[in-house]
Amino acid sequence: MSPTTPTILIVGGVAGGASAATRARRMNEHARIVMFEKDAYVSFANCGLPYHLGGEIPDREALLVAKPELFEKRFRIEVRTRTEVLSIDRAARTVQVKDHATGKVSTEHFDKLILAPGAAPIVPSMPGANAKGVFTLRNLDDTDRIAAAMPAAKHAVVVGGGFIGLEVAEQFRHRGMNVTLVEMQPQVLPLLDAEMAEPLHREIETRGVRLELGRGIASIEEKDGAAAAVVLTDGTRVPADLVLLGLGVRPNVKLAQDAGLALGTSGGIATDAHMRTNDTDIYAVGDAAEYAYGPTGGRMRVPLAGPANRTGRLAGEHAATGGAAVAPAAWGTSIVRVFGKTAGITGMSRRAALKAGLDARAVHITANHHAGYFPGAEPMVLKLVYEAATGRVLGAQAVGGAGVDKRLDIIATLLHFHGTVHDLSQLDLAYAPPFGSAKDPVHMAGFAAQNDLAGVSRLLPPDTDLASYQVVDVRSPEESARHPLANAPHAKKIPLEQLRACLGELDATKPTVVSCQTGVRSHIGTRILAQNGFAQVFNLSGAATVRDLALNRSTPTATALPGAVTACGATVSACGATDAGQRIEGDGISAADLGSHIDGPLDLVDVRTGAEFRAAHVRGARHVSLEAVTPEIVRAGRPVAAHGPTFLLCKTGGRARMAASKLRAAGIDCIVVDGGTDACAEAGLPIERDASSKTWSIDRQVRLVAGLMGLVGVSIGYFVHPAGYALAAFVGAGLTFAGLTDFCGMALLLGRCPWNK
């Protein structure tokens, strides 16, 4: 060959292969480039397949990023679909190729060969694995088959709680199916540390998906050749007429292995810094190849689209020109949406770091994604993992709402440059109230990690057994009562503002742990104690919020019955019970059943006027007046530790139902407390009252104003002009309408008056 006119053959036409082909052409106009793809499509958006199944990407054509015609016309790249490379003859520099459309087998010569064969879904060897209705999801043909089966399916079982499994389970639920998610590990997303996966468990169950953790799949029962049920390893039987196997992928390395190419320790094709195999004219990229792995410095498979595209580009350039930049290390940065939650990871979890022999420490930060005083702030939990001796950042995990992606990307960038917690704390980030905080969550994580390493405020993991520690809870009595510190009944409850005055109640010689709700006040508490003679003082990382996630694991719930989905997305069984076991009457929950949950971490919103709320409200409720109710405000104020729906209450239920209608339209799960605060008081729920409040209830104000208007109308009609009777009739009609519809316009108007604020 001429060095300037090589023949470059590429095996695989999706992420890595397509990137290699187009970069090779841009760098060498004279090369001959041929791309073989054994499936029907090249360069399709495989990460978008689940969202097409759920209808979020309605146009199937949108998944075709680049068609063969574009490669051929714009890049002069030969594209051969439905064509499989069967073997490689390294000595002759040829490949044997089969055209599946014609059955013809031919031989092609290469100067450079790029392998991007990808990976295949794992299908276990078990009874029923080949039954009708059992699927894997890898390409558009799979997507078409699943889409064709979905309309008739009522019970779907998704096996595997990784990224694909979570995405597909969400989309099946959006389509109205009863969904069970099965995961052999005790948590979904096993890449995450356990407490960081727990919010996803609660979100999944709240959305009506049955969650089966810590058990695998043993078999699939068939009826007339089609899937009828899934049997788990403990004997549990789950009805299923559609089964999606999302058990991970196995790299397609047979072609390389048969050609004598070396495999690495993780089972992928071994590569060097330029993605070359042990044959320097043959490259490997994508899910079948090994990469430099940033956290450890070793090489391993990282089956993600980002590394495949980036290394494919560099391999294509090197094959076309003989030179290119060294392939960057992969850090495994990944993210997933699970209904209303977002979760992701970059680098190593603490569990993975400890397993790798690293002296890893971690800090948990609970914060809003932008300034809390600006409407729409959404909470997140951020976990930063770092090396004890050097402060080198090893990884991060985050779960919450908006802004999770931004923080992961910031820390992924820091990882790329091998930054430390000290670097993280000094980053100059954009700030304005709608976008962030002056002290961003990543800054706070850096600060806390610095304090930990310097001994200023040493951290204990949130799941630490506290039995041998003196525990000080510096929250208010109300907070401690609402959300007791998990597995610490001996905790001394001393509000932070009283701590200095109560030092005599504590033993300065004992190892002491300080906790609050999120870790901010407990940091101050540790500093007070440390400077008053307490030799061993620790801050509980993440405090009560994260300890709840670490120790109070959610319990799987029963699958809802077919067709039982409320307008707000909460599943309701035929007998009237929600997923969480709450009794529902219409769209509400009784005050008595609410009482069984009032001590747990729930979100209770009182939509009455400010004056009514101040006069008396259920303990633990937060106030958002009806006229101020928006999805953004309700989401922003939601307690981080809360799981399940948002409970809405007013005086009797009418205004709460109006708020529920508005929130459900925005996709927020909410349940009305029937009978409102009156019913809660009758049920014996704790009510906080302000005896000094003189403001009447809205109902009493409506009765007064309506009565006066009616009296004035009759008086005008009798003494002045008959038209006055119209006013009385109007008031009577309004009251009648309010009684029939539970909507009172006069109450809304009165609620805006200054004395009701």
Hey, which residues are catalytic here? 47
Measure the CA–CA gap between 489 and 508, rounded to whole angstroms.
Answer: 20
- Taking alpha carbons only, the member of 387, 400, 318, 317 closest to residue 353 is 387
Q: Are 470 and 506 in contact (CB under 8 A)?
A: yes
Coil, helix or strand for 146? helix
Residue 352, token pair as written in the block: 């993975």
φ/ψ (deg, to 5) at 135: -135, 160
Sequence-ordered list of residues with C-beta below 8 angstroms from that of 195, at least 6 positions apart, any chain: 364, 383, 462, 463, 542, 546, 549, 550
Residue 703, token pair as written in the block: 């009765």
- Taking alpha carbons only, the member of 28, 27, 68 closest to residue 44 is 68
User: What is the rounded radius of gyration, in angstroms, for the C-alpha atoms of the chain?
Assistant: 31
Measured between its terminal Cα atoms, the distance across the chain in Å is 83
Sequence-ordered list of residues with C-beta below 8 angstroms from that of 741, at least 6 positions apart, any chain: none
- Helices 698-719 and 724-741, interaxial angle, to 10°? 150
Q: Which residue has the tokens 């208010």?
A: 476
DSSP codes joined into one string, 677-742: HHHHHHTT--EEE-TT--PPPHHHHHHHHHHHHHHHHHHHHHHT-TTHHHHHHHHHHHHHHHHHHS
Measure the CA–CA gap between 151 and 580, rounded to whole angstroms.
Answer: 27
Q: Which residue has the tokens 């399916």?
A: 153
Amino acid at 571: T
Amino acid at 631: P
Q: Are 548 and 483 in contact (CB under 8 A)?
A: yes
Burial 488-516 (b: 16+ CB within 10 A, else e): beebebbbbeebeeeeeebeeeebbbbbb
- Let me know the angle formed at the C-alpha of 191 by 188 and 196, rounded to the nearest 5 degrees: 65
Amino acid at 125: S
Distance set, CA 148 to CA 60, 145, 472 (Å): 13, 5, 58
Measure the CA–CA gap between 332 and 306, rounded to whole angstroms.
Answer: 9
Q: Is 125 left (phi over 0), alpha (psi -120 to 50) or beta?
A: beta
Q: Is 713 left (phi over 0), alpha (psi -120 to 50) or beta?
A: alpha
- Taking alpha carbons only, the member of 40, 13, 18, 255 closest to residue 142 is 40
Q: Is 592 left (phi over 0), alpha (psi -120 to 50) or beta?
A: alpha
DSSP codes joined into one string, 47-78: GGHHHHHTTSS--GGGGBSS-HHHHHHHH--E
Q: Which residues pair with 31 in a beta bridge?
A: none
- The one-character DSSP state at 500 is G
3-state secondary structure 662-690: HHHHCCCCEEEECCHHHHHHHCCCCEEEC
Distance set, CA 430 to CA 437, 439, 726 (Å): 9, 11, 61
